[in-house]
Structure 1
Amino acid sequence: MTDVSEPVVSWALSGFGDEIDPDPAVQVAVLQALGANHIEVRSAWGVNIVDLDDEQLDTLAGVFAERGMRVSAIASPIGKVDVALPVQHEVDRLGRAIAAAQRLGARYIRLFSFYRGEGVPVESIRDDVIERMRALAAAAEEAGVVLLHENEKDIYGDTPERCLDIVESVGSPALRLAWDSANFVQVGVAAPFDDGYALLRPHLEYLQVKDARAATSEVTPAGEGDGQLLQTLTALRDDGYTGFASLEPHLTDVNALGGFSGPAAFGVAGRAFRRLTDQIGVTLA
């Protein structure tokens, strides 16, 4: 009898290692215990990825190689600065993120689309944002890496419409989108899947996994907030998505380097996400 079972859909599980612990060895151990073979690198030993020197990068690469861990993305802070800074300011910092990506064997670099001064209307910074994003994308094209714009609070590209504006206006194969349901909820997008998925799916190349409650902006494990995670994951499955799903729980603290969860809360987040993917028949590896 012919086997007519459904094909297996598999996504690569990753996670922000520094949400677990400053020590990369601990980061890797917890991620591997959750079944992940990749790590997203934002900082190590309490030092941001763009500030690690060559020796530290070599040490970090050795930690990953010894433990069989690969890097899904460099979670850089590029674009998380005021748009009034010169264009070259972030292009230079991107150069350090590119060096880290090349040393660690990562194709993707996460970035943002700039803050603005207090009281400055978001529409007034559009042209400056597009100019800077074009310069960053040109540098990425030359280096052979792909930039992933993350929708984030208080930057230009915080809503689905402005994310689309950025990626379509820049028009570079080196600039794609990361999807973060929690961040959409926290900027007032009432139904991220309904309001943004179809709009952004042609440009979506990376999934960051966290959820949030609209009433309080509290970040929650996947499926426990208002981010329409289950609908989004189901649509990605049906669309043939085969990329990364990166845990970014933000469950206990937010600091200068980003969110923090600790090993226990990170495990809670990982198991919550796996319950959703199990429900829709997606395997994580």
Structure 2
Amino acid sequence: MSAVRFGGIGDEAAPDLAGQIDALQQLGWDELELRTVDGVWIADLPLPRIEEAAAALRQHGIRTCGIAARIGNWASDVTDGPSADDRELDALGTRAALLGTHRVRVMSYPNRTGLPEAEWRLRVLRRMRRLADRAHRGGLLLLHENCQGWAGSSVDNTLDLMDSAGGPGLRLLHDTGNGIAYGYDGFELLRRTVGHVEHLHVKDAVGGGADTRYVLPGAGDARLADTLRLLTARGWHGVWSLEPHLATRPHEGLAADGRTESGFVAAGRALTALVEREVLPHSPGWRLVPGGLVLDAPVPRPADGREGVVSDAG
């Protein structure tokens, strides 16, 4: 039986683990994606702190659905040496095992030094093949997010990455709102890459570029309802992980401080309302259950054979 679980990136709600757990519990969800705890990236947290976190999550019945790495992210450059990435991947291998997950979010290296496009591509693919192999041998799965970096800059580059480096060590993480911020059609990216997608980040936005403003799910221009209907039409299963960016935006140096309203719980409720209002009526066989969705019957294939393709209707 296919199932979708609702979860979220914890530090979008609160800096401390207790606050992250509380936000999930307010929503009735039990999937937590870990990026930082008390402002410290998971790869840098001492192992005793990881063991304490794992025990607290077990106590509250919460699963770790993935860990965010800094590998290839907005603070890196494609010309950086490999040693920092190797250390982070090794550290996350140990921590992921303690937390009960094997999924690690990565990106594909901004080109801050202005290398020619062809050289940027070659360097990224070389690094990603190596990292994916290293991850697979260590029992990890890398999830490439369509964010800053070579492969996140176009549909063709994403498909090129999967053709060149995809496999048991590398799949895709699709972020629903990144297309608004980076100037491409995020729904079209998903439509063409959905067969490679293992994990979903849920956000919505308006504007674009430097004028991007993040809003509650369903209130923006990211075609979020179309995106979720595409996934249910395929019988997709996995986690829809909330990353609303209403208060926390690491690439801008912004973080929820625990003293102000992060908007995480409001965004979670907006997501559930959107699913009830605009997704389930167009998703035969699916129904809401505590913490997510289940599919009770096989998904019928479209008559034209284009599995997972939905109309542009809102």
Report SS of the residue matched to 1:73: strand
Aligned position for 2:263:
265
In the superposition, relative to structure 1, how do residues 278 and 196 fare at CA in structure 2: closer, same or farther (>3 Å)?
A: same
CA contact (8 A) 2:77 2:113 kept: no
1:67 to 25, 45, 60: 60
After TM superposition, the structure 1 = structure 2 runs for residues 78-97 of structure 1, keeping only pairs within 5 Å, are: 78-80=71-73, 81-97=76-92
Q: Does 1:247 align with 2:245?
A: no
Q: Judge conservation of contact 1:13–1:35 (CA < 8 Å) in 2.
A: no
Provide the residue aligned with 2:307 in structure 1.
Answer: none
Q: Secondary structure at the match of 1:112?
A: strand
Q: One-letter code of the match for 2:274?
A: L
Tell me the distance in 2 between the aligned counterparts of 1:181 and 1:88.
Answer: 31
CA offsets per residue over residues 174-222 of structure 1, 9 Å max, x none?
2110111211121111x321x2223101101111000111343111221
Matches within 5 A, 1:122-161: 122-161=117-156
CA distance in 2, matches of 1:41, 1:93: 15
Q: Who is 1:57 aligned against?
A: 50
Q: Structure 1 residues 44-53 or 250-259, which shifts more?
A: 250-259
**In the alignment, structure 1 residue 24 sits paired with structure 2 residue 11:** no
Q: For the residues of structure 2 that align with 1:161 and 1:59, how far apart are their CA atoms?
A: 43
- Residues 1:129 and 1:275: Cα distance change in structure 2 (over 3 Å): same
1:244 Cα deviation from its structure 2 partner: 0.3
Please give the root-mean-square deviation of Cα atoms over the aligned residues, in Å: 2.0
The equivalent of 1:5 in structure 2 is none
In structure 1, give the amino acid aligned to 2:212. Answer: S
Matched, 1:217 2:222: no
Amino acid at match of 2:249: V
Give the drift of 1:268.
Answer: 1.5
C-alpha contact (below 8 Å) 2:105/2:144 kept by paired residues: yes
Q: TM-score normalized by structure 2?
A: 0.82
SS in 1 for 2:104: strand
Which structure 2 residues correspond to residues 231-242 of structure 1 after superposition, within 5 A? Answer: 231-242=226-237
CA contact (8 A) 1:122 1:156 kept: no
Deviations 1:220-267 (A, max 9, x none): 221111111111100100100111000001102434697645655111
Partner of 2:28: 35
- Give the equivalent residue in structure 2 for 1:192: 186
Letter in 2 for 1:203: H
Q: Deviations over 1:107-157 (max 9, x none)?
A: 211111112224444443110001110111011111222111001135542
Instruction: Specify the SS of the correspondent of 1:152.
Output: strand
Q: C-alpha separation between the residues in 2 aligned to 1:171 and 1:73? A: 18
* Secondary structure in structure 1 of the residue aligned to 2:67: strand
* Cα 1:258–1:143 shift into 2, 3 Å: farther
Any stretches of 5+ residues in structure 2 without a counterpart? 281-286, 293-314
Cα distance, 1:157–1:192 mapped onto 2, change above 3 Å? closer
Residue among 261, 265, 272 paired with 1:274: 272
Q: Which amino acid aligns with 1:87?
A: P
